Amino acid sequence: MRRAALLAALAATLVVPCAAQTAAPPESFTSQDKGYCIACHQLPEGAGPRTRADLGPALTGERMRALGRAKVREVIEDPTRANPDTVMPPYGRHRILDAAEIQRLVEFLLALP
């Protein structure tokens, strides 16, 4: 019984780091001549460079997963379809990023803590 409780406690300590673990942002997120998403959006602590950028909303995994994979991809490809007044660049429509770069961004965003 005590052993089971100990294992359960140990497992609990492992869950938190695994869930919070995230890959470094892809180059297209941080590079000025690519997406440069970091200039407008903040990331959760530990998920990438810290800035005070707030021209766009803060990005969280919870928000990205609520939007869903297809919607996140659509917003990156052409955010003006959903919001003509947005200041976010149409990364796919204007060929700032290619399909593979957009895919890597989608996966990175969905995996955010």
Residues near other proteins, by CB under 8 A: 32, 38-40, 51-55, 80, 85, 87, 89-90, 94-96
Looking at beta carbons only, is 21 or 83 nearer to other proteins? 83
Find the shortest distance in angstroms from Cβ 12 to other proteins: 37
Find the shortest distance in angstroms from Cβ 93 to other proteins: 9
Looking at beta carbons only, is 66 or 87 nearer to other proteins? 87
Alpha carbons within 13 A on the beta-carbon side of 83: 10
Helices and strands: H and E segment counts in the chain:
5, 0
Find the shortest distance in angstroms from Cβ 63 to other proteins: 18
Looking at beta carbons only, is 20 or 96 nearer to other proteins? 96
Amino acid code (one letter) for 89: P
Written in H, E and C, the secondary structure of 12-48 is: HHHHHHHHHCCCCCCHHHHCCCCCCHHHCCCCCCCCC
